[in-house]
Amino acid sequence: MRPRVLVLGGGFAGLSCALALPASRFAVTLVDQSPSFEFLPAIHELVSGLKRPAELRLPLKPVLAREGHRFRRGEVVAIDSAARRVQFAKGSLRYDILVVAVGAADADFGVSGVREHAMPFKSVAQCAAIGRRLRSLLREPRPGRVTIVGGGLEGVECLGEVLRVRGDRDFPVTLVEAGPRLLPGAPAPVGRHLAAHCEAAGVELLCGEAVERVTAKTVKLAGGRRLRSALTIWTGGPAPRPLLAESGLAAPGRWAAVADNLRLEGADDVFVAGDSGELPQPLARQAYHALAMGRHCAREIERAERGRAPRAFRPAEKPQLIAFGERDCVLLQGRHALASPKRLSRCWPPRTSNRSYSMAPNPTQPLATLKRAWHSYATALAISSSPSAVARPMTAPRASPYARPMADRLPTTRAWTAPPSHKCHW
C-alpha cells in the first residue's frame, strides 16, 4: 500500500513538491481552491494588459495527471493533525503525510475600509480587475487619482504598469509607503534610483505616511491629509493565512514554525513549505525559495520512507529582478546591481537582508531577455546561485511542466550578458 501524501496548495511550493514525488511509491493528492496554478510574480503585467490572465494560469488537473497524481478542487477549512484528516466545507480527506503549502494572505494591518474599497493585488483575477478599472478610468474626460498603497516590490511593479498605461496622459498618481523610503527591504540606492524615476514621471511619492482609512473616494493618511482617490490599489504584502492558527499549526497571527528540515515543530508527518512556513532563520517570501522548499519536502518524504535520517533545507541565494514598467528594471544580487538604462549611483551596505529573486518585465531593456528566460522555464529556477550566474547560459530543467504553455515564446538565445555600461560593482 502506497503512503497517502496530501499536498495543500497548488502554488510554487505545493506543485513542485507533488511533481517531485514518484506516483509509483506514493499516492499523491493535491488540493487547491483554485483550478489553476497562478504565476504571481508576473501579475503586475495584467494591470497594463501586457499579459492576459490565461498566460499566467496553468490548469492543475492535467499537469498532475501526467505524473499519475490526483487533483481535488476545494477550500480546506480545517486540518486535524491528530486524526490525520483535512476538512472541506463538504467532505474530508485522510492522509499519512501532509504538506501544507497554502501561501500567504494579504496584510491589511487592520486599516478600515481596505476590504470594502481598495482593490487587492494578490491574484490573477484581482490584477485583471485592476487593469479593467484603470482602462475605464482612462476613458473618463478627466480621470481621477490612482493611489497605490505600499512601496514594496508589489507596489513598485504595480506603479510601473500604471505609468505604462498612463503614457503621456495627465492624471494624478500617488504612491503611499509607511516606511521611510521605497523598497524598504532593498538597499537604499535602489529605492532612491526608483524614486528618481517617480519624480521624473510626476508621481507623488508619500513615504513615511501610514494609511489610516480607505473609503470609496478617499484615502485618509495618519498625518491627517485626505487624498481623493478614484482607484485605490492595496499592496499590503504577505500575512499568515488564518487557517494555520485555526488548525493549531501556528500561534494566532503567526506563520507555521518549522524545523530546518521543514517538518512542523512537534509533528513528523506534517511539512510546511513556501510562504506559510517560518524557518528558524527566516527567509524572504519569494517564489524560488517556495520551489526549493517544495522539492526539499519531496526529498524528505522519500528519505523518511527509506528509513533515512532527515536533512536540513539549505536555501540558495538568487538574484532579484524588480521591474518598473517600460522605464527600468533593476537586478540585484549580493553586492551587485544592474539597472537597465542607467547606472546606480551609490553603493549599498555590504550586508543586506533582502536577497531574493523576481522577474523583470521590460520589453525595451536588456534585462527583458532574462525575464523571458525566467518565464519560459518559469518555476524551474534556471539561474544558479553563484554571483556570476547572471552572465551564464541557462539550462532548461528536465521536463518542466510549467514551461509548456509558454514554450512558443521561448527566446532563441538562452544566454544573457549584461552590457558593460550597465554593470555596476561595489
Q: Which amino acid is at 114?
A: V
Site membership for ligand FAD, residue 103 (CB under 6 A)? yes
Q: Which amino acid is at 83?
A: A
Stretch that binds ligand FAD, among 95-103, 365-373, 381-389, 417-425 (CB under 6 A): 95-103
Under 8 Å CB-to-CB from 59, ≥6 apart: which residues? 35, 36
Residue 76 vs 367, nearer CB to ligand FAD: 76
Q: Which one of residues 5, 13, 304, 329 is an interface residue with ligand FAD (CB under 6 A)?
A: 13
285 interacts with ligand FAD by CB under 6 A: yes
Q: Pattern of binders to ligand FAD over 382-411, x per CB under 6 A?
A: ------------------------------
Of 62, 68, 75, 223, which lies in the binding site for ligand FAD, with binding defined by CB under 6 A?
Answer: 75
Q: By CB under 6 A, tell whether 244 contacts ligand FAD.
A: no
331 binds ligand FAD (CB under 6 A): no
Q: How far is the CB of 359 from ligand FAD (least distance, A)?
A: 5
Q: Which three cell numbers stand for residue 105?
A: 494572505
Pick 44 or 197: Cβ nearer ligand FAD: 44
How near is the Cβ of 380 to ligand FAD at its closest, in Å? 13
Residue range at the interface with ligand FAD (CB under 6 A); choices 19-27, 35-43, 63-71, 389-397: 35-43
Stretch that binds ligand FAD, among 182-190, 286-294, 393-401, 402-410 (CB under 6 A): 286-294
CB of 143 or CB of 319, closer to ligand FAD: 319
Q: Measure the CA–CA gap between 276 and 82, rounded to whole angstroms.
A: 20
CA dist 163 and 183 (Å) reads 18
Count of CA atoms in the C-beta half-sphere (13 A) of 419: 12
CB of 203 or CB of 256, closer to ligand FAD:
256
* CB closer to ligand FAD, 143 vs 236: 236
Q: Does 154 bind ligand FAD (CB under 6 A)?
A: yes
- The strand pairing partners of 79, in sequence order, are 86
Distance between CA atoms of residues 69 and 369, nearest Å: 34
| Residue in 206, 287, 304, 381 binding ligand FAD, rule: CB under 6 A | 287
Instruction: Write down the least CB distance from residue 123 to ligand FAD, Å.
Output: 8
Residue whose Cβ sits closest to ligand FAD: 11
CB nearer to ligand FAD: give 143 or 183.
183
Which of 30, 43, 297, 344 binds ligand FAD (CB under 6 A)? It is: 43
Among residues 2, 22, 33, 66, which is the contact residue for ligand FAD, using CB under 6 A? 33
Rank residues 126 and 215 by Cβ distance to ligand FAD and give the closer one.
126
Check binding of 14 to ligand FAD (CB under 6 A).
yes
Min dist CB 318 to ligand FAD, Å, is 8
371 binds ligand FAD (CB under 6 A): no
Choose, by CB under 6 A, the member of 76, 190, 244, 301 that binds ligand FAD. 76
Measured CA to CA, the distance from residue 378 to residue 57 in angstroms comes to 12
Pairing of strands 4-8, 97-100: parallel
- Interface with ligand FAD, residue 120, by CB under 6 A: no
Cβ nearer to ligand FAD, comparing 28 with 359: 359
Binding site for ligand FAD (CB under 6 A): 8-14, 31-34, 40-41, 43, 75-76, 101-103, 121-122, 153-154, 241, 243, 274-276, 285-288, 290, 356-359
